[in-house]
Amino acid sequence: MKIGVVGLGTVGFGVVEILTQQKERLEKQIGEEVTVKYGCSLDEVTLPEGIIYTQDFNDVINDDEVDVVVELIGGTTIAKKIIIEALKKGKNVVTANKALIAHDGQEIFETAAKHHAKFYYEASVGGGIPVVVPAKEDLIANEIEKIEGILNGTTNFILTLMETDNLDFDEALTIADGLGYVEADASLDLDGIDAAHKIQILAMNAFEIFFDFDKIKATGIRSVTKKDMDYAKKLGYRIKLIAQAKKIENGYGIDVSPTLISLKDMVANVNQAYNVVEITCNYLENVLFYGKGAGRYVTASAVVSDIMKTHQQDMWKHDYQYVENIYPITKSKYYVRCDHSLDIDYETYFSQDHDHIYITNQIELNDLLEQLQGETYNLFKVRG
């Protein structure tokens, strides 16, 4: 097996390190030689002896000796060209590129099938947490009914800091950014777009469907205040950015939003930059996948696992049906905070200072918004 790694940033160089340091053990596992032939990057780096450095990804794609192309440059432009061209040449491809799969997955999967090439992407969801492969292979006896979880470590880290260090949103964001947790385009994290990319990938495989990414309603954490977090905790909840996908009567409900989770729930107690994915299915019922969602070796380990999978006989197919009926999940309990009492149907109520806080009964969001018309309020989903 000869490998070309395109993109030698944090994760890419981690992949090269693992493949080099674990070469003997990996070769013993799959029964053949494992060699990194190319490392491709615009910025020159010092690679282990024997690996060819190039700035031109075409050197990798056009080399007949290369069996596996690893795309780790990110984005949806050049990365797409690299992947599509490699697949057309019958090369297997491994990526961590969640945005590209979310926006152009159908074209990529169809190209891979047409040219009898393998395409793996475990690292695109949850960093090093094995969830894509187990959901597609180990749960094959089950029909998956619902997926929900914390899929963005940056926002989870910010929310944790707000609670534990008594910080407001901007203060926590500054710390997270200083530690390198925040994407160069902060909106990907803060506005729920990154989590939406990931729930799109999980929903695609769970329900065997393709759909347009822009059908997913994503609401981020910019509106979450320290005050709301404190009130939620008094009510026995913790606010988390939750991505969820489930079958509903007329299609599929998929969205991302700040949500109150009971403190008794395991998901509520996943803190710092950790991720968790909870899958509900018909036979196994509930299963959780938990771990670090980012980091050089965390993500690189998932990439290397996918590289090794290209050696196996492929049982993956992506001949899914394209669907239009994707909707936000709007029927829920809701947390509402207002500076005066409201005439709404509620399960729990308390007031403090000038604030009136409600946990509503199950209600359609549009019905609740109609009742709140003309009011000034904060509103979040409540799970359960």
Q: Tokens for 51?
A: 């690996």
315: confidence class by pLDDT, cuts 50, 70, 90: low
Binding site members for NADPH: 98
The tokens describing 59, both together, are: 């050197």
According to DSSP H, which parts of 235-326 are helical?
A: 296-309
Does 151 share its domain with 98?
A: no
Q: Where are the beta strands (DSSP E) in the chain?
A: 2-6, 35-40, 52-54, 68-71, 92-95, 119-120, 144-150, 209-210, 217-218, 237-248, 251-262, 274-281, 285-292, 321-322, 326-327, 331-338, 346-352, 355-360, 363-364, 377-382
Asked if 144 and 279 sit in the same domain, the reply is yes
Judge contact between 267 and 238, C-beta under 8 A.
Answer: no
**Assigned domain for 183 exists:** yes
126 in a structural domain? no
Pairing verdict, β 68-71 and 2-6: parallel
Cα→Cα distances 143→222, 246, 282, 324, Å:
35, 11, 6, 21
* 277 assigned to some structural domain: yes
Domain-embedded: residue 15 = yes
pLDDT of residue 358: 97
The confidence band for 374, taking pLDDT boundaries of 50, 70 and 90, is very high
- 165 plus 71 within the same structural domain: no
Residue 285 banded pLDDT, cuts 50, 70, 90: very high
- DSSP alpha helices (H): ranges in 180-261? 187-190, 193-207, 226-234
What residues contact residue 18 under an 8 Å CB cut-off, 6+ apart? 297, 300, 301, 304
The whole domain housing 268 covers: 132-293+318-327
pLDDT above 90 as % of the chain? 91
Q: Give the end of a domain, one of 120, 140, 174.
A: 120
**107 with 147, same domain?**
no
Q: Which CATH number covers residue 274?
A: 3.30.360.10
**Pair (288, 336) in one structural domain:** no
Active-site residue among 37, 198, 240, 309? Answer: 198
pLDDT for res 75 = 93
237-252 pLDDT, tens per residue? 999 999 999 999 999 9
pTM comes to 0.91
Task: Could you list the residues known to form a binding site, using ranges.
Answer: 98, 183
Integer Cα distance of 371 and 374 in angstroms: 9
Asked if 162 and 32 sit in the same domain, the reply is no
- What pLDDT score does 384 carry? 80
Indicate if 276 and 199 belong to the same structural domain. yes
- 12 and 108 in a single domain? The answer is yes
CA dist 148 to 2, 133, 160, 168, Å?
A: 37, 17, 19, 26
pLDDT in tens, 297-313: 889 999 999 999 998 87
Per-residue pLDDT at 47 exceeds 90: yes
337 pLDDT above the threshold of 80: yes
The verdict on residue 300 lying in a domain is no
Least confident residue range of 138-142, 177-181, 204-208 = 177-181
Q: Catalytic annotation on 234?
A: no
Classify each residue of 154-192 as buried b or exposed e, where b means 16 or more C-beta atoms within 10 Å of its C-beta: bbbbbbbbbbeeebebeebbeebeeeebbeeeeebbbbb
Predicted local distance difference test score (pLDDT) of residue 6:
98
What residue type is assigned to position 236 of the chain? G
Q: Which of 98, 120, 142 delimits the end of a domain?
A: 120
Residues 60 and 8 in one domain: yes
Structurally, the chain folds into a number of domains equal to: 3
CA atoms of 162 and 206, how far apart (whole Å): 34
Whole-number Å distance between alpha carbons of 49 and 90: 28
Beta strands in 312-376 (DSSP E): 321-322, 326-327, 331-338, 346-352, 355-360, 363-364
pLDDT value at 344 more than 80: yes
Same domain, 354 and 322: no
CATH at 16:
3.40.50.720
In terms of Cα–Cα distance, which of 299, 276, 298 is closest to 287? 276
Same structural domain for residues 246 and 194? yes
Decide if 299 is inside a domain.
no
Give Cα 336 to chain centroid, integer Å: 28
Kindly tell me if the per-residue pLDDT of 336 is higher than 90.
yes
Write down which residue in 309, 327, 345 finishes a domain. Answer: 327
Between CA 258 and CA 246 the distance in angstroms is 17
Which pLDDT tens digit goes with each residue over 101-132? Answer: 999 999 999 999 999 999 999 999 988 899 99
- Helix 226-234 / helix 153-164 crossing angle, nearest 10 deg: 80
- On whether the CB atoms of residues 261 and 167 are closer than 8 A, the answer is no
Tell me whether residue 101 is in a domain.
yes
The answer to whether residue 309 sits within a structural domain is no
251 and 289 assigned to the same domain? yes
